[in-house]
A = this chain, B = another copy of it.
Amino acid sequence: MTRQRELILGILSQSDRHLTADEIFFLAKLKMPTIAMATVYNNLNAMNEAGVIHRIRVDGGADRFSAVSEPHDHLLCDECGKLTDIRLPKLKVELEKQIHSPVDSYDLVIHTLCPACRRKK
Contact = CB atoms under 8 A, between A and B. Distances in A.
Interface of A: 55, 57-59, 75, 78, 86, 88, 90-91, 94-95, 98-99, 101-113, 118
A61 to B, nearest CB: 10
9 contacts: A88-B95, A101-B112, A101-B113, A103-B110, A103-B111, A104-B111, A104-B112, A106-B110, A108-B108
Contact of A113 (B94, B104, B108, B113): B104
Given A57-B58, A104-B112, A106-B108, 8 more contacts: A78-B104, A86-B99, A88-B95, A95-B110, A101-B113, A101-B118, A106-B109, A107-B111
Nearest to A104: B111
A113 B104 CA distance: 8
Nearest to A59: B57
Contacts of A111: 103-107
Contacts of A78: 104
A101 B77 CA distance: 12
